[in-house]
Amino acid sequence: MEIRFAKREDTPKILRFIRALAEYEKLSGEVVATEALLEEWIFDKGKAETIFAVEDGKEVGFALFFHNFSTFLGRAGIYLEDLFVLPEYRGRGYGTALLKKLAALAVERGCGRLEWSCLDWNSPSIGFYKALGAVPMEEWTVFRVAGETLRTLAKQDS
Amino acid sequence: MEIRFAKREDTPKILRFIRALAEYEKLSGEVVATEALLEEWIFDKGKAETIFAVEDGKEVGFALFFHNFSTFLGRAGIYLEDLFVLPEYRGRGYGTALLKKLAALAVERGCGRLEWSCLDWNSPSIGFYKALGAVPMEEWTVFRVAGETLRTLAKQDS
């Protein structure tokens, strides 16, 4: 098994993984990402990075991440947005290998933390993350403004 | 009132706001950020941006943010890490003005979302955010690996 960074020409593969994850979560209807958008935001604007787990020349898992920031630590962290391993390749350590690679990248880049989000009903993943030593930030909730609400709030800016 | 972006020479002011927020949250002991670290990670490496609310030439509030990424939308968002208004300037709309400025920046830059986290016991803020139209992502929990646990996980990378 090999882990490699995705390049611009891998954009179609990244989109396939995003769609596969959405399908797994039964949220396919929410995917509006296109190859053009991903190429622009990941490779032109550099707002995220992607690594693949590769077995026999085939990408069997992916992790998409970006840098977040801790004001208390005064430095960036790594935030894992998506982690997905093709169902037929589960249970062979690809997911763990991707997480370890991100931990190694965080240390290499001088980052203070590695973070990600998990759905509260996903007990198997939560157990796995806790076994790795991850701590759930249970007292925090993310608030989101999007779509028309975002545009309305923006228009009120004086 | 004016809103302006922080520049490199504002680093000491940024650190003072971070410390004021930590003191307010009774978490001062967790602040290990220094001016040198903030200057490196914000201004050399560009991992976060800061805006100030300014009244009569005095910075009375700040917001520190970075770009996160939505794979479903295929584009970046804006994530507000810290928002703080000096206690003696509360209730005059500075916090709302900073939030609206971030919403405007998100729209201007083509981002899909504006997000931030709030402590679950902070009912006044939660009410305020919901009134703005923000939706709590209640089914998600952030997991964090840091310090020795991060280094151990990184070392296991093969």
Q: What is the pLDDT of residues A67-121, one digit of tens each?
A: 999 999 999 999 999 999 999 999 999 999 999 999 999 999 999 999 999 999 9
Interface contact B153-A100, CB threshold 8 A = yes
Hey, how many other C-beta atoms are within 10 angstroms of the C-beta on B1?
14
DSSP assignment letter at A10: G
CB A106 within 8 A of CB A114: yes
Pair of tokens at residue A63: 């992790």
Q: Of chain A residues 36-95, which have a CB less than 8 A from chain B? A: 37-38, 40-42, 45, 47-48, 64, 66-76, 79, 81-82
Q: Is A122 on the interface with B (CB under 8 A)?
A: no
3-state secondary structure of A124: helix
Nearby residues of B11 by Cβ (< 8 Å), 6 or more positions away: B35, B38, B39, B42, B43
Pair of tokens at residue A55: 């077995």
Higher pLDDT: A156 or A13? It is A13
Interface contact A140-B142, CB threshold 8 A = yes
Res B26: pLDDT: 87
Q: How far is B139 from chain A (nearest CA, A)?
A: 5
CB B31 within 8 A of CB B15: no
Interface contact A143-B151, CB threshold 8 A = no
Cα A145 to chain centroid distance, Å, stands at 20
φ/ψ of A110, rounded to 5, equals 80, 20
Give alpha helix (H) positions in A51-112.
94-108
Asked whether residue B123 carries a pLDDT value surpassing 80, the answer given is yes
pLDDT, tens digit, 9 for 90 and up, residues B75-94: 999 999 999 999 999 999 99
Q: How is B52-82 classified by DSSP, letter by letter?
A: EEEETTEEEEEEEEEEEEETTTTEEEEEEEE
Which one of B22, B45, B73 has the shortest CB-CB distance to A72?
B22
Rounded to whole angstroms, the Cα distance separating B65 from B114 reads: 10
Rounded to whole angstroms, the Cα distance separating B87 from B84 reads: 9
Angle at B7 between CA A67 and CA B112, to 5 degrees: 40
pTM of the model: 0.96
What's chain A's length in residues?
158
Reported confidence tier of residue B25, pLDDT bands at 50, 70, 90: confident
Which of A98, A120, A150, A158 to probe the B interface (max B CBs under 10 A)?
A150
Res A39: pLDDT: 98
Relative to beta strand A75-85, strand A113-119 is parallel
Res A59: pLDDT: 98
CA distances for A74 relative to B30, B42, B43, angstroms: 11, 9, 12
CB A133 within 8 A of CB B149: yes
Reported confidence tier of residue A158, pLDDT bands at 50, 70, 90: low
Q: How is chain B classified by DSSP, letter by letter?
A: -EEEE--GGGHHHHHHHHHHHHHHTT-GGG----HHHHIIIIIIS---EEEEEEETTEEEEEEEEEEEEETTTTEEEEEEEEEEE-GGGTTSSHHHHHHHHHHHHHHHTT-SEEEEEEETT-HHHHHHHHHTT-EE-TTEEEEEEEHHHHHHHHHT--
Res B158: pLDDT: 52
Q: Which residue do the tokens 């990248």 mark? A: A105
CB B99 within 8 A of CB A153: yes
Rounded to whole angstroms, the Cα distance separating B14 from B82 reads: 11
Reported confidence tier of residue B157, pLDDT bands at 50, 70, 90: low
Whether A24 sits among the annotated catalytic residues: the reply is no
Q: What is the ipTM of this complex?
A: 0.95
Label residue A93 left, alpha or beta by phi (over 0 means left) and psi (-120 to 50 means alpha).
Answer: left
- Mean pLDDT of the residues in chain A: 95
Asked whether residue B30 carries a pLDDT value surpassing 80, the answer given is yes
Res A157: pLDDT: 60
